Chain A
Amino acid sequence: MDLIWEGLRQALALLLALDPEVLGITLLSLKVSGLATLISVVLGLGLAVSVALNEFPGKRVVIALMNTGMGLPPVVVGLFVTVLLWRNGPFGFLGILYTPAAIILAQAVIATPIIAGLGLAALQHLPPALRLQILSLGATRSQMIWLLLKEARLPLLAAVMAGFGGVISEVGASIMVGGNLKGSTRVLTTATVMETSRGNFEVAFALSFILLVLAFSVNALLTHLQQRGRPR
Chain B
Amino acid sequence: MSAPLLEVQDLLVRRGGATVLEVSALALAPGDVLALIGPNGAGKSTLLLTLAALLPPAAGTVRFQGEALDSERRRQAFRRRVTMVFQEPLLFDTTVGGNIATGLRLHGVSGAELTHRVQEAAEQFGIAHLLDRSARRLSGGEGQRAALARALALRPELLLLDEPFSALDPPTRSGLMDDLGRILADTGTTAVLATHDQAEAARLATRLAVMKDGRILQEGGLRQVMNHPGDPFVAAFVGMESLLPCRVVSATEGLLTLAVGGQEIIAVGEAEPGQCVLVGIRPEHVTLSLQTDKTSSARNQVPGTVTKVIPWGPFHRVELSCGFDLCTWVTPQSLAELALAPGRPVVAAFKATAVHVIRTDSQGGPEPLT
**Residue from B54, B102, B107, B135 in contact with A136 in the complex, judged by beta carbons closer than 8 Å:** B54
Given contacts A130-B90, A136-B54, A138-B106, 11 further A-B contacts (CB under 8 A): A132-B54, A133-B84, A136-B79, A137-B106, A138-B80, A138-B154, A139-B106, A147-B102, A230-B93, A231-B134, A232-B134
Residue of A nearest to B97 (CB): A231
Q: Which residues of chain B from 15 to 59 have a CB within 8 Å of any chain A CB?
A: 49, 52, 54
B76 proximal to A (CB < 8 A): yes
Query: In whole angstroms, what is the CA distance A139 to B160 when docked?
Result: 17
**Given A127-B88, A147-B92, A151-B92, A136-B106 contact (CB < 8 Å):** no
The distance from the CB of A141 to the nearest CB of chain B, in whole angstroms, is 8
Residue of A nearest to B86 (CB): A129
Query: In whole angstroms, what is the CA distance A199 to B240 when docked?
Result: 91
**Given A127-B88, A129-B90, A137-B103 contact (CB < 8 Å):** yes
A140 proximal to B (CB < 8 A): yes
1/0 per residue B58-90: CB within 8 Å of A? Answer: 000000000000000000100110111010101
B90/A231 in contact, CB under 8 A: no
Q: Which residues of chain A from 102 to 138 have a CB within 8 Å of any chain B CB?
A: 127, 129-130, 132-133, 135-138
B196 proximal to A (CB < 8 A): no
Work out how many contacts link A and B, with CB atoms closer than 8 A. 56
A200 proximal to B (CB < 8 A): no
Q: Which residues of chain A from 124 to 167 have a CB within 8 Å of any chain B CB?
A: 127, 129-130, 132-133, 135-140, 143, 147, 150-151
B242 proximal to A (CB < 8 A): no
The distance from the CB of A128 to the nearest CB of chain B, in whole angstroms, is 10
Q: Which residues of chain B from 134 to 176 have a CB within 8 Å of any chain A CB?
A: 134-136, 150-151, 154, 160
Interface size class of A (residues with CB under 8 A): 10 to 19
Query: In whole angstroms, what is the CA distance A127 to B143 when docked?
Result: 15
**Given A129-B90, A151-B93, A231-B95, A137-B102 contact (CB < 8 Å):** yes
Query: In whole angstroms, what is the CA distance A136 to B84 when docked?
Result: 6
B94 proximal to A (CB < 8 A): yes
B103/A138 in contact, CB under 8 A: yes
A133/B90 in contact, CB under 8 A: yes
Query: In whole angstroms, what is the CA distance A150 to B94 when docked?
Result: 10
B88/A136 in contact, CB under 8 A: no
1/0 per residue B349-368: CB within 8 Å of A? Answer: 00000000000000000000
Question: A127 to chain B: which residues have CB within 8 Å?
Answer: 88, 90
- Residues of A whose CB lies within 8 Å of any CB of B are 127, 129-130, 132-133, 135-140, 143, 147, 150-151, 229-232
B154/A137 in contact, CB under 8 A: yes
Residue of A nearest to B162 (CB): A129
Please, could you name 15 A-B residue pairs with CB atoms under 8 Å apart, sorted by A? A129-B86, A129-B88, A132-B84, A133-B84, A135-B79, A136-B79, A136-B82, A137-B151, A138-B103, A139-B106, A143-B106, A229-B94, A230-B93, A231-B94, A231-B133
Query: In whole angstroms, what is the CA distance A229 to B95 when docked?
Result: 10
B83/A137 in contact, CB under 8 A: yes
The distance from the CB of B334 to the nearest CB of chain A, in whole angstroms, is 46
Q: Which 5 A-B pairs have the closest CB atoms?
A: A231-B134, A138-B80, A136-B84, A137-B103, A133-B90
Residue of A nearest to B134 (CB): A231
Question: B136 to chain A: which residues have CB within 8 Å?
Answer: 231
Query: In whole angstroms, what is the CA distance A143 to B108 when docked?
Result: 12
B79/A138 in contact, CB under 8 A: yes
Question: A229 to chain B: which residues have CB within 8 Å?
Answer: 94
The distance from the CB of B169 to the nearest CB of chain A, in whole angstroms, is 22
Question: B86 to chain A: which residues have CB within 8 Å?
Answer: 129, 132-133
Query: In whole angstroms, what is the CA distance A42 to B103 when docked?
Result: 27
Question: B84 to chain A: which residues have CB within 8 Å?
Answer: 132-133, 136
Query: In whole angstroms, what is the CA distance A202 to B110 when docked?
Result: 59
The distance from the CB of A232 to the nearest CB of chain B, in whole angstroms, is 7
A137/B49 in contact, CB under 8 A: no
B150/A137 in contact, CB under 8 A: yes
Q: Which of A129, A137, A143 has the most CB of B within 10 A?
A: A137
Query: In whole angstroms, what is the CA distance A231 to B131 when docked?
Result: 12
Residue of A nearest to B84 (CB): A136
A135/B54 in contact, CB under 8 A: yes
Query: In whole angstroms, what is the CA distance A151 to B98 when docked?
Result: 12
Query: In whole angstroms, what is the CA distance A140 to B49 when docked?
Result: 17
Query: In whole angstroms, what is the CA distance A232 to B134 when docked?
Result: 6
The distance from the CB of A123 to the nearest CB of chain B, in whole angstroms, is 14
Question: B92 to chain A: which residues have CB within 8 Å?
Answer: 147, 150-151
A138/B93 in contact, CB under 8 A: no
Q: Which residues of chain B from 297 to 330 have a CB within 8 Å of any chain A CB?
A: none
Question: B132 to chain A: which residues have CB within 8 Å?
Answer: 231
Question: A143 to chain B: which residues have CB within 8 Å?
Answer: 106
A138/B54 in contact, CB under 8 A: no
Question: B135 to chain A: which residues have CB within 8 Å?
Answer: 231
Residue of A nearest to B95 (CB): A231
Query: In whole angstroms, what is the CA distance A60 to B327 when docked?
Result: 54
Residue of A nearest to B135 (CB): A231
Query: In whole angstroms, what is the CA distance A232 to B80 when docked?
Result: 32
Question: A230 to chain B: which residues have CB within 8 Å?
Answer: 93
Residue of B nearest to A140 (CB): B76
Query: In whole angstroms, what is the CA distance A162 to B125 when docked?
Result: 43
Residue of B nearest to A144 (CB): B106
Query: In whole angstroms, what is the CA distance A229 to B86 when docked?
Result: 26
The distance from the CB of B152 to the nearest CB of chain A, in whole angstroms, is 12
The distance from the CB of A131 to the nearest CB of chain B, in whole angstroms, is 9
Question: A150 to chain B: which residues have CB within 8 Å?
Answer: 92
